[in-house]
Copies of this chain bind each other. A is one copy, B any other.
Amino acid sequence: MSYEGSSAVVNGRQNGRPTLEQVAARAGVGRGTVSRVINGSPRVSEQTRTAVARAVAELGYVPNQAARALAGSRTDAIALVIPEAEARLFAEPYFLDLIRGVSAELADADKQLLLTLVRSEQERQRFEQYLAAQRVDGVLLASVHGDDPLPDRIRELGLPVVMNGRRSEAEPVPYVDSDNIGAGRAAVAHLVGGGRSRIATVTGPLDMYVARARLGGYRAGLAEAGHAPDEALVSAGDFTEEGGRRAMRLLLDRRPDLDAVFVASDVMAAGARGVLREAGRRVPEDVALVGVDDSAVARLMDPPLTSVRQPIEEMGRTMARMLIREIHGIQEGGEASEEPRRHVLPTELIVRESC
Protein backbone atom coordinates (compact mmCIF):
# COMPACT_ATOMS: atom_id res chain seq x y z
CA MET A 1 0.00 0.00 0.00
CA SER A 2 1.35 3.33 0.98
CA TYR A 3 4.16 1.84 3.03
CA GLU A 4 7.82 2.60 2.71
CA GLY A 5 9.39 1.17 -0.32
CA SER A 6 12.51 -0.88 0.16
CA SER A 7 14.25 2.41 0.79
CA ALA A 8 15.95 2.80 4.06
CA VAL A 9 18.59 0.31 4.88
CA VAL A 10 20.63 3.40 5.41
CA ASN A 11 19.04 4.00 8.75
CA GLY A 12 17.97 1.60 11.43
CA ARG A 13 14.26 1.99 11.02
CA GLN A 14 12.16 -0.66 9.44
CA ASN A 15 8.75 0.78 8.90
CA GLY A 16 6.83 3.87 9.81
CA ARG A 17 8.63 6.62 11.57
CA PRO A 18 11.63 6.18 13.84
CA THR A 19 11.12 6.34 17.59
CA LEU A 20 13.05 7.84 20.43
CA GLU A 21 14.32 4.40 21.25
CA GLN A 22 15.81 3.96 17.80
CA VAL A 23 17.51 7.30 17.95
CA ALA A 24 18.93 6.36 21.33
CA ALA A 25 20.24 3.07 19.99
CA ARG A 26 21.86 4.75 17.03
CA ALA A 27 23.46 7.46 19.11
CA GLY A 28 24.58 4.88 21.63
CA VAL A 29 22.83 6.55 24.54
CA GLY A 30 19.74 5.97 26.64
CA ARG A 31 16.20 7.10 25.96
CA GLY A 32 16.31 9.67 28.68
CA THR A 33 19.31 11.37 27.18
CA VAL A 34 17.71 11.68 23.79
CA SER A 35 14.61 13.11 25.40
CA ARG A 36 16.77 15.66 27.19
CA VAL A 37 18.45 16.70 23.99
CA ILE A 38 15.16 16.98 22.14
CA ASN A 39 13.72 19.13 24.87
CA GLY A 40 16.77 21.28 25.24
CA SER A 41 17.68 20.30 28.78
CA PRO A 42 21.00 21.79 29.89
CA ARG A 43 22.02 18.63 31.69
CA VAL A 44 23.69 17.02 28.71
CA SER A 45 27.34 17.14 27.72
CA GLU A 46 28.17 18.90 24.51
CA GLN A 47 29.58 15.74 23.05
CA THR A 48 26.49 13.68 23.71
CA ARG A 49 24.28 16.41 22.42
CA THR A 50 26.10 16.41 19.13
CA ALA A 51 25.95 12.65 18.78
CA VAL A 52 22.23 12.64 19.45
CA ALA A 53 21.64 15.50 17.07
CA ARG A 54 23.38 13.55 14.36
CA ALA A 55 21.34 10.45 14.96
CA VAL A 56 18.18 12.54 14.87
CA ALA A 57 19.18 14.07 11.58
CA GLU A 58 20.22 10.78 10.04
CA LEU A 59 17.01 9.04 10.93
CA GLY A 60 14.83 12.04 10.21
CA TYR A 61 13.36 11.66 13.64
CA VAL A 62 10.38 13.76 14.65
CA PRO A 63 8.82 13.18 18.06
CA ASN A 64 5.35 11.72 17.98
CA GLN A 65 2.98 14.35 19.22
CA ALA A 66 0.39 12.00 20.65
CA ALA A 67 2.94 10.23 22.78
CA ARG A 68 4.29 13.52 24.01
CA ALA A 69 0.87 14.76 24.87
CA LEU A 70 0.00 11.59 26.69
CA ALA A 71 3.17 11.39 28.69
CA GLY A 72 3.64 15.08 29.29
CA SER A 73 0.01 16.15 29.46
CA ARG A 74 0.35 19.14 27.25
CA THR A 75 -0.65 19.37 23.65
CA ASP A 76 1.14 22.44 22.35
CA ALA A 77 -2.07 23.41 20.67
CA ILE A 78 -4.63 26.06 21.45
CA ALA A 79 -8.16 26.55 20.23
CA LEU A 80 -9.56 29.68 18.64
CA VAL A 81 -13.32 29.78 18.88
CA ILE A 82 -15.36 31.92 16.52
CA PRO A 83 -19.14 31.97 16.63
CA GLU A 84 -20.23 31.45 13.04
CA ALA A 85 -23.11 33.89 13.28
CA GLU A 86 -20.68 36.68 14.03
CA ALA A 87 -18.31 35.59 11.33
CA ARG A 88 -20.93 36.64 8.84
CA LEU A 89 -21.76 39.94 10.45
CA PHE A 90 -18.41 41.48 10.99
CA ALA A 91 -16.69 43.34 8.26
CA GLU A 92 -15.25 40.46 6.38
CA PRO A 93 -11.56 40.85 6.94
CA TYR A 94 -11.97 40.98 10.68
CA PHE A 95 -11.65 37.35 11.55
CA LEU A 96 -9.09 36.68 8.92
CA ASP A 97 -6.92 39.40 10.36
CA LEU A 98 -7.46 38.07 13.82
CA ILE A 99 -6.54 34.58 12.72
CA ARG A 100 -3.50 35.97 11.01
CA GLY A 101 -2.29 37.60 14.21
CA VAL A 102 -2.96 34.59 16.36
CA SER A 103 -1.38 32.28 13.87
CA ALA A 104 1.77 34.37 13.59
CA GLU A 105 2.29 34.46 17.31
CA LEU A 106 1.62 30.76 17.71
CA ALA A 107 4.01 29.88 14.94
CA ASP A 108 6.74 31.75 16.77
CA ALA A 109 5.98 29.74 19.89
CA ASP A 110 5.75 26.53 17.88
CA LYS A 111 2.19 25.88 18.89
CA GLN A 112 -0.70 24.74 16.79
CA LEU A 113 -3.94 26.52 16.06
CA LEU A 114 -7.18 24.63 16.26
CA LEU A 115 -9.91 26.65 14.67
CA THR A 116 -13.46 26.07 15.82
CA LEU A 117 -16.38 27.74 14.12
CA VAL A 118 -19.38 27.31 16.33
CA ARG A 119 -22.60 27.16 14.41
CA SER A 120 -25.16 26.03 16.92
CA GLU A 121 -25.82 25.31 20.52
CA GLN A 122 -25.23 21.66 19.77
CA GLU A 123 -21.83 22.38 18.38
CA ARG A 124 -21.02 24.47 21.38
CA GLN A 125 -21.64 21.53 23.61
CA ARG A 126 -19.55 19.33 21.43
CA PHE A 127 -16.83 21.90 21.83
CA GLU A 128 -16.95 21.59 25.58
CA GLN A 129 -16.63 17.82 25.29
CA TYR A 130 -13.72 18.37 23.17
CA LEU A 131 -12.02 20.63 25.64
CA ALA A 132 -12.54 17.95 28.21
CA ALA A 133 -10.74 15.53 25.92
CA GLN A 134 -7.67 17.62 26.63
CA ARG A 135 -6.85 18.39 23.08
CA VAL A 136 -5.67 21.92 23.76
CA ASP A 137 -3.70 23.78 26.39
CA GLY A 138 -5.80 26.92 26.25
CA VAL A 139 -8.60 28.74 24.49
CA LEU A 140 -8.98 32.00 22.60
CA LEU A 141 -12.52 33.31 22.37
CA ALA A 142 -13.67 35.78 19.75
CA SER A 143 -16.76 37.92 19.80
CA VAL A 144 -18.40 37.03 23.06
CA HIS A 145 -21.90 38.21 23.86
CA GLY A 146 -22.88 39.87 27.08
CA ASP A 147 -24.42 36.82 28.66
CA ASP A 148 -22.15 34.14 27.31
CA PRO A 149 -21.31 31.58 30.01
CA LEU A 150 -18.68 29.82 27.91
CA PRO A 151 -15.66 31.75 29.19
CA ASP A 152 -16.47 30.85 32.76
CA ARG A 153 -17.23 27.27 31.82
CA ILE A 154 -13.82 26.88 30.27
CA ARG A 155 -12.13 28.30 33.31
CA GLU A 156 -13.96 25.78 35.43
CA LEU A 157 -12.35 23.08 33.34
CA GLY A 158 -9.06 24.57 34.45
CA LEU A 159 -8.10 25.84 31.02
CA PRO A 160 -6.61 29.28 30.45
CA VAL A 161 -8.79 31.61 28.35
CA VAL A 162 -8.27 34.92 26.66
CA MET A 163 -11.13 36.71 24.96
CA ASN A 164 -11.27 39.16 22.12
CA GLY A 165 -13.45 41.92 23.44
CA ARG A 166 -15.27 41.76 26.72
CA ARG A 167 -18.75 41.08 27.94
CA SER A 168 -18.98 44.11 30.17
CA GLU A 169 -17.01 46.92 31.65
CA ALA A 170 -15.96 44.78 34.59
CA GLU A 171 -14.86 41.67 32.76
CA PRO A 172 -13.29 39.10 35.06
CA VAL A 173 -11.83 36.94 32.30
CA PRO A 174 -8.58 38.11 30.67
CA TYR A 175 -9.21 39.90 27.39
CA VAL A 176 -7.81 42.00 24.61
CA ASP A 177 -10.02 44.76 23.32
CA SER A 178 -9.63 47.83 21.19
CA ASP A 179 -10.36 51.25 22.54
CA ASN A 180 -13.93 51.51 21.37
CA ILE A 181 -14.71 54.47 23.54
CA GLY A 182 -11.75 56.27 22.07
CA ALA A 183 -13.01 55.30 18.62
CA GLY A 184 -16.34 57.01 19.13
CA ARG A 185 -14.75 60.00 20.71
CA ALA A 186 -12.22 60.45 17.92
CA ALA A 187 -14.90 60.15 15.26
CA VAL A 188 -17.08 62.77 16.89
CA ALA A 189 -14.13 65.08 17.51
CA HIS A 190 -13.26 64.88 13.85
CA LEU A 191 -16.82 65.66 12.80
CA VAL A 192 -17.05 68.55 15.23
CA GLY A 193 -13.72 69.81 13.93
CA GLY A 194 -15.22 69.72 10.43
CA GLY A 195 -17.91 72.10 11.55
CA ARG A 196 -20.73 69.60 12.01
CA SER A 197 -23.14 70.21 14.82
CA ARG A 198 -26.08 67.82 14.45
CA ILE A 199 -24.19 64.58 14.73
CA ALA A 200 -26.18 61.35 14.85
CA THR A 201 -25.02 57.79 15.45
CA VAL A 202 -26.00 54.34 14.31
CA THR A 203 -25.00 51.89 17.03
CA GLY A 204 -24.42 48.17 17.04
CA PRO A 205 -26.68 45.77 18.95
CA LEU A 206 -26.67 47.11 22.47
CA ASP A 207 -26.40 43.72 24.12
CA MET A 208 -22.80 43.74 22.97
CA TYR A 209 -20.33 45.70 25.02
CA VAL A 210 -18.50 46.82 21.90
CA ALA A 211 -21.64 48.60 20.73
CA ARG A 212 -22.24 50.24 24.07
CA ALA A 213 -18.63 51.36 24.25
CA ARG A 214 -18.73 53.02 20.85
CA LEU A 215 -21.95 54.73 21.80
CA GLY A 216 -20.34 55.82 25.04
CA GLY A 217 -17.44 57.27 23.09
CA TYR A 218 -19.87 59.13 20.85
CA ARG A 219 -21.58 60.65 23.86
CA ALA A 220 -18.31 61.53 25.49
CA GLY A 221 -17.17 63.19 22.29
CA LEU A 222 -20.31 65.29 22.11
CA ALA A 223 -20.02 66.26 25.74
CA GLU A 224 -16.42 67.29 25.29
CA ALA A 225 -17.45 69.49 22.40
CA GLY A 226 -20.12 71.06 24.55
CA HIS A 227 -23.05 69.57 22.63
CA ALA A 228 -26.14 68.55 24.53
CA PRO A 229 -27.08 64.89 24.21
CA ASP A 230 -30.09 64.19 22.05
CA GLU A 231 -31.56 60.70 22.05
CA ALA A 232 -33.35 61.37 18.81
CA LEU A 233 -29.94 61.30 17.19
CA VAL A 234 -29.21 57.77 18.39
CA SER A 235 -30.50 54.77 16.46
CA ALA A 236 -29.63 51.12 17.05
CA GLY A 237 -28.43 48.87 14.24
CA ASP A 238 -27.24 45.31 14.36
CA PHE A 239 -23.94 45.44 12.44
CA THR A 240 -25.61 44.37 9.19
CA GLU A 241 -25.96 46.47 6.07
CA GLU A 242 -29.73 46.20 6.23
CA GLY A 243 -29.67 47.18 9.89
CA GLY A 244 -27.67 50.23 8.89
CA ARG A 245 -30.29 51.13 6.32
CA ARG A 246 -33.12 50.84 8.80
CA ALA A 247 -31.36 52.86 11.45
CA MET A 248 -30.46 55.56 8.96
CA ARG A 249 -34.04 55.87 7.73
CA LEU A 250 -35.19 56.25 11.30
CA LEU A 251 -32.66 58.99 11.93
CA LEU A 252 -33.65 60.84 8.79
CA ASP A 253 -37.27 60.65 9.85
CA ARG A 254 -36.62 61.93 13.30
CA ARG A 255 -34.00 64.53 12.55
CA PRO A 256 -34.02 65.52 8.87
CA ASP A 257 -31.62 68.30 9.74
CA LEU A 258 -28.74 66.05 10.83
CA ASP A 259 -25.45 66.85 9.17
CA ALA A 260 -23.21 63.96 10.24
CA VAL A 261 -23.43 60.32 11.33
CA PHE A 262 -21.02 58.18 13.25
CA VAL A 263 -21.84 54.65 12.18
CA ALA A 264 -20.49 51.91 14.43
CA SER A 265 -19.32 49.70 11.56
CA ASP A 266 -18.33 50.10 7.92
CA VAL A 267 -20.89 47.60 6.76
CA MET A 268 -23.70 49.51 8.41
CA ALA A 269 -22.21 52.70 6.98
CA ALA A 270 -22.55 51.21 3.51
CA GLY A 271 -26.24 50.68 4.19
CA ALA A 272 -26.61 54.17 5.60
CA ARG A 273 -24.86 55.63 2.62
CA GLY A 274 -27.38 54.00 0.31
CA VAL A 275 -30.28 55.46 2.24
CA LEU A 276 -28.71 58.91 2.16
CA ARG A 277 -28.28 58.70 -1.58
CA GLU A 278 -31.91 57.67 -1.99
CA ALA A 279 -32.92 60.61 0.17
CA GLY A 280 -30.96 62.94 -2.06
CA ARG A 281 -28.36 63.78 0.54
CA ARG A 282 -24.85 64.22 -0.70
CA VAL A 283 -21.87 62.81 1.16
CA PRO A 284 -19.97 64.66 2.46
CA GLU A 285 -21.55 67.98 1.44
CA ASP A 286 -24.88 67.45 3.21
CA VAL A 287 -24.02 64.68 5.58
CA ALA A 288 -20.61 63.57 6.78
CA LEU A 289 -20.06 59.90 7.53
CA VAL A 290 -17.59 58.06 9.74
CA GLY A 291 -17.46 54.28 10.06
CA VAL A 292 -15.54 51.79 12.12
CA ASP A 293 -13.23 48.96 10.98
CA ASP A 294 -11.38 50.53 8.09
CA SER A 295 -12.31 47.54 6.00
CA ALA A 296 -12.18 47.08 2.25
CA VAL A 297 -15.75 48.29 2.22
CA ALA A 298 -14.61 51.68 3.48
CA ARG A 299 -11.95 52.08 0.83
CA LEU A 300 -14.33 51.12 -1.95
CA MET A 301 -17.27 53.25 -0.96
CA ASP A 302 -18.15 56.28 -2.98
CA PRO A 303 -16.88 58.54 -1.59
CA PRO A 304 -14.30 56.53 0.31
CA LEU A 305 -15.32 56.33 3.95
CA THR A 306 -13.48 57.88 6.85
CA SER A 307 -13.24 55.07 9.36
CA VAL A 308 -11.74 54.18 12.70
CA ARG A 309 -9.16 51.47 12.33
CA GLN A 310 -8.77 48.76 14.94
CA PRO A 311 -5.43 46.96 15.21
CA ILE A 312 -7.05 43.61 14.60
CA GLU A 313 -4.00 41.57 13.75
CA GLU A 314 -2.20 43.06 16.71
CA MET A 315 -5.10 42.06 18.93
CA GLY A 316 -4.71 38.52 17.69
CA ARG A 317 -1.03 38.53 18.46
CA THR A 318 -1.58 39.97 21.89
CA MET A 319 -4.22 37.41 22.73
CA ALA A 320 -1.99 34.56 21.71
CA ARG A 321 0.89 35.98 23.67
CA MET A 322 -1.18 36.36 26.81
CA LEU A 323 -2.54 32.86 26.51
CA ILE A 324 0.86 31.34 26.02
CA ARG A 325 2.17 33.11 29.08
CA GLU A 326 -0.68 31.88 31.14
CA ILE A 327 -0.18 28.34 29.91
CA HIS A 328 3.47 28.47 30.82
CA GLY A 329 2.56 29.85 34.18
CA ILE A 330 0.43 26.80 34.83
CA GLN A 331 2.79 24.27 33.36
CA GLU A 332 5.89 25.54 35.02
CA GLY A 333 3.86 25.84 38.17
CA GLY A 334 5.60 29.15 38.76
CA GLU A 335 2.82 31.20 40.31
CA ALA A 336 1.23 33.31 37.60
CA SER A 337 3.38 36.40 37.35
CA GLU A 338 0.20 38.44 37.70
CA GLU A 339 0.73 40.45 34.59
CA PRO A 340 -2.02 42.55 33.14
CA ARG A 341 -4.99 40.40 32.27
CA ARG A 342 -6.58 43.02 30.09
CA HIS A 343 -5.25 44.93 27.18
CA VAL A 344 -7.00 47.77 25.42
CA LEU A 345 -5.27 48.64 22.17
CA PRO A 346 -5.54 52.09 20.63
CA THR A 347 -7.61 52.80 17.53
CA GLU A 348 -6.81 55.22 14.78
CA LEU A 349 -8.95 57.48 12.64
CA ILE A 350 -8.33 57.03 8.93
CA VAL A 351 -9.58 60.15 7.21
CA ARG A 352 -11.03 59.85 3.73
CA GLU A 353 -13.45 61.86 1.64
CA SER A 354 -16.69 61.10 3.44
CA CYS A 355 -16.35 64.06 5.77
Name the interface residues of A76-127: CB closer than 8 Å to any CB of B. Answer: 77, 80, 84, 87, 92-93, 95-96, 99-100, 103-104, 107, 110, 112-117, 119, 123, 126
Chain B residues within 8 Å of A135, by CB: 65-66, 112
Nearest-CB distance from A161 to chain B (Å)?
A: 12
Contact B60 A64 (CB under 8 A): no
Contact A107 B95 (CB under 8 A): no
Residue interface mask A52-68, B partner, CB < 8 A = 1: 00000000101111110
Q: Contacts A66-B75, A112-B114, A117-B103: A92 and B17 contacting too (C-beta < 8 A)?
A: no
Chain A contact patch, size range: 35 or more
Whether B296 contacts A92 by the Cβ 8 Å rule is yes
Q: How far is the CA of A126 from the CA of B129 in the complex (A)?
A: 30
Q: Is the C-beta of A69 less than 8 angstroms from some C-beta in chain B?
A: yes
Cβ of A134 within 8 Å of any chain B Cβ, yes or no, is: yes
Contact of A67 with B65 at beta-carbon distance under 8 Å, contacts A296-B296, A296-B297, A330-B2 already known: no
- Docked pose: A3 CA to B75 CA in angstroms: 19
Residues of B within 8 A of A228 (CB): none
Complex interface: chain B residues within 8 A of A301 (CB): 300
The reply to whether A300 and B270 form a contact with Cβ atoms under 8 Å apart is yes
- A315–B194 CA distance with the chains assembled, in angstroms: 48
Indicate whether A9 reaches chain B with its CB closer than 8 angstroms. no
Question: A132 touching B60 by the CB < 8 A rule?
Answer: yes
Whether A10 is near chain B, meaning CB under 8 Å from some CB there, is no
- Chain A, 33-54, CB within 8 A of any chain B CB: none
A115 x B103 contact (CB < 8 A):
yes
Q: A170 an interface residue at 8 Å Cβ cutoff?
A: no
Q: Is A134 within 8 A of B93, CB to CB?
A: no
CB distance from A136 to the nearest CB of B (A): 9
Across the interface, A100 reaches (CB within 8 A) one of B17, B73, B84, B114, namely B84
Given known contacts A17-B134, A115-B115, is B300 in contact with A2 (CB within 8 Å)? no
* Residues of B contacting A158 in the complex (Cβ-Cβ under 8 angstroms): 2-3
Residues 142 to 171 of chain A near chain B (Cβ within 8 Å): 158
Is A279 interfacial (CB 8 A cutoff)? no
Q: Which of B3, B64, B96, B134 interacts with A96 by CB under 8 Å?
A: B96
Q: How far is the CA of A139 from the CA of B95 in the complex (A)?
A: 22
In the complex the two chains form, is A126's CB within 8 Å of B107's CB? yes
CB pair B114–A114 under 8 Å, yes or no, is yes
Please report the C-alpha to C-alpha distance between residue A270 and residue B300 in the assembled complex, in whole angstroms.
8
Residues in A301-322 with C-beta less than 8 Å from chain B: 301-302
Q: A113-B114, A114-B113, A301-B300 are in contact. Are A65 and B100 (CB under 8 A)?
A: no
Contact: A115 with B99, CB < 8 Å?
yes
Partner of A95 from B69, B96, B126 at Cβ < 8 Å? B96
Q: A66-B67, A87-B100, A300-B300 are in contact. List 6 more A-B contacts (CB 8 A).
A: A80-B115, A96-B96, A99-B115, A104-B119, A114-B114, A270-B300
**A–B complex contacts, Cβ < 8 Å, 24 sampled:** A2-B330, A3-B158, A17-B134, A62-B133, A63-B133, A64-B70, A64-B133, A66-B66, A66-B67, A66-B73, A66-B135, A67-B70, A69-B69, A77-B114, A92-B96, A92-B296, A103-B115, A110-B126, A113-B114, A113-B116, A114-B115, A296-B297, A297-B300, A300-B301
4 A-B pairs closest in CB distance:
A66-B69, A62-B132, A66-B70, A115-B115
